[in-house]
Structure 1
Amino acid sequence: MNQVQPNDSHSVYRQLYALLVYDLYRDPIEAIQMMAIWIWLEKMITMSPDLTRRILTVSPHLINSLGNEALLCWACLGNINLLFSCSFTNFPLTNIVLRKEMPVEFFRLHRDVTINGINEVIKRVCATCLKDIWDGAIARNAQMANNYATTIRPQKVDTQPDERTLFITFSRGFPVAEREVREFFTRLFGECIESFYMQEVAIGEHPLFAKIVLHNAWYVNSVLSGGTKAKFMINGKQVWMRKFMPKR
């Protein structure tokens, strides 16, 4: 669980936004949209005056999922057809932290009022107390993009597969799909995966490890930053990576 220090609401907003953009690597703009939805709900729903504080106390994985539900809410408000096709059942986690059903019917009846209220939150709250974190996240992302663009991409070389293989472990209870891992590497390096092996498990169970053979050992060293192992968050789920050590 994340520790929330007793402080004013703006301190909670800052902690939550920083977690979204720095720990979960969520897009800064989308994270502002999430925050605006949550803060508006916090101010409008009498049973949820501490909604953002409650969100901050759950696991990063659940915060990531709550963020996705907030973005769905944002999309519904922006598309009236989508708004009338969804219901509170599309927001199961949000219903729990709200301690009541997502007010979808209110959105339908008072869509303009809701949109104006959320925009006011962005203008009066997000644009002021979150601006420095926003600026830092934008600068961080720009630097990462620049580093990627200016790095000389390695060519495939004739090395043994074991020398360019990563062993990846997942946390029990937080399943990670092969697609998610592939997307993680593609965002970092482009097309760098030669082969992918996910642990075979029985129906209803989730893999706890995977092996990835990359095109070049350079990718392995880059991921591990020259060390022996490294921890990453993939869609809010903790993943450990280390160089594969074959049994002799």
Structure 2
Amino acid sequence: MMMISTEELHRYHKIDRDIFSRLVIKFKRDPAESLLVMAVWLWLEDKGYPNIVVKMVGLSDAIVGALANEAVLCFKSCLESNAPRVAAGGGGIPLTSVLMERDISLQMFSQNRFTAISGIKSFLNNVCCHVFSDILQRVLDPGASQANLNHPLFGAMITTNSSGFLTGGIWDWQPADHGVSEDDRTMFLTFSRGFPVLEEEVKGVFTELYGDCVESFQMETVPSGEQPLYARMVLRCVTIVDRILNGKRISKFRVNGKHIWARKYERRE
């Protein structure tokens, strides 16, 4: 691909930069939170809600701030928690719905939680850290050595060194193919003791329901004669994770009278 200069990149993302500047310079909002707000909006645009940011250009500061608050609500209530807090009826983000001229709710984020997380990570890593770095340099305290802006889901997003230059966090992330890591696409499966399940049975359940969705499968390694009680299953795309869980933390499946419990895999160091 032809190399794009920083000036060309900034010019292409001028409107995104203008809105981000309003958030962190004019409104003095938290920089890490504002990065996530922009990533949420960019992800929504990528998912078919066009021109979200462009439509904000002529809006008042009060409305732009309220729209940012709704974006914060999306990732605080639906993405950060393993038990998303969504009100009965789906929860509302009315200003965002009006802006996009389409119905959208917190329930949509909850039901597509892991798709949203991986997409937002991708925009943070591939767009935001390149497009907004100079603006962040202006708002971060250059005298704050090793100042971290942390997020419970995305980790250390921004780190400044003693010279005030951005380093670490999303600036050091290495995205996988299409920005979705293998861990993002992995399910952790557990089985009932005394009811041994074969690998072919497990894979068959998910293949029947979701098509050719299993990329790899690893059953617990146990001594001969013992029953594996868990397995890890890597899926071909992260959207299948959300389809399996359907907004829940754990989903239950049944094969030949035996139960399978599925939840999102979380790597523990």
TM-score of the superposed pair, with normalisation by structure 1: 0.49
The structure showing larger relative contact order (alpha-carbon pairs under 8 Å, at least 6 residues apart) is 1
- Structure with bigger helix share is 1
